Structure formats: C-alpha cells, structure tokens
Amino acid sequence: MDLRTSLGKRLRTLRAKWGYTQQDISSILQIDRSTYAYYETSRSTPPLSTLKKLADVYHVPLSDLFGNEEAPPQFSDSAPGVFADLDHNKSHIYDLCPEERQLIAMYRLANQETRGKIMELLHTKNS
C-alpha cells in the first residue's frame, strides 16, 4: 500500500473511531467537505499544515497518520470519582453531541494562550 492510500485509510479509521463525520472534520479544518473526502479516498494529499491539525484533532502523533495501525487512545470518563463533585450528567465521552466533539477538536487546535482564556472563561462561568 502506498503512502497516500495508507494515509487515506488511516484518516477514515480515526474519523470513525472518534465519531466525526466528514462534514465535522471539514468544518474544523475550514475546508470543503469534498476536499476532505479526497484525502480519505486518496485522490489528493493534505498539506503538512492540515496534517498537523488532523493529528491534533485526533490526538495522535503526526507519524500515526501514515499507517500506524495501532488504535488511537480510548478515553472514558467513567472512572470512579471523576464526577464526585459535579451534579450534572455523568455521560461517557463517546456520548458527546457533534457540537461538543467539535468544541473539543477546536480546543485542541487552539494555541496555549487561547486555551488559557477558554479555561479561565469556563472557570468564571462555573464559579
């Protein structure tokens, strides 16, 4: 399997494992859905800047986009005591709605300063 085919297959696998649609990912990357579909079908190769963003969104090292078949990390928020001090829904991360998944993906793409502002805003609103 050549590099482009391997990349396309890996992008499809990661997107499915994280529960995103092609439209979700294209919105996060601010590209047309058809452009992202071309990446997954190996019709074109994304530029390095896009590959870096995809690695951030999928929370994997950049090298994992090129055929490393190891499964992406699985996250669960069901560990005992995780929500001990919170009164809201104790749902699992894979139960997030598309908007919540998009928010997480966009947070991962944000620089450190923006992340800090987001966290500060959330702590202020929840205090």
**What does the longest C-alpha to C-alpha distance in the chain come to?**
53
∠ CA 101-79-120 to the nearest 5 degrees?
A: 50
83 located within any domain:
no
Q: Backbone dihedral region of 84: left (phi > 0), alpha (psi from -120 to 50 degrees) or beta? A: alpha
Q: Which pLDDT score, from 0 to 100, does residue 127 have? A: 65
- The whole domain housing 17 covers 1-70+88-127
Rounded CA gap, 78 and 112, in Å? 27
Contact 29, 39 (CB under 8 A): no
- Within a domain: 64: yes
Q: In this model, does residue 41 exceed pLDDT 70?
A: yes
Judge whether 82 lies within some domain.
no
**Total of domains in the chain:** 1
Separation CA 93–CA 1 (nearest Å): 33
Q: Would you say residue 81 has pLDDT above 70? A: no
Q: Among 53-57, 96-100, 111-115, 119-123, which stretch is predicted with the lowest mean pLDDT?
A: 96-100
Contacts 24+ apart (CB under 8 A), 85-92: none
Which CATH number does the domain housing residue 27 bear? 1.10.260.40
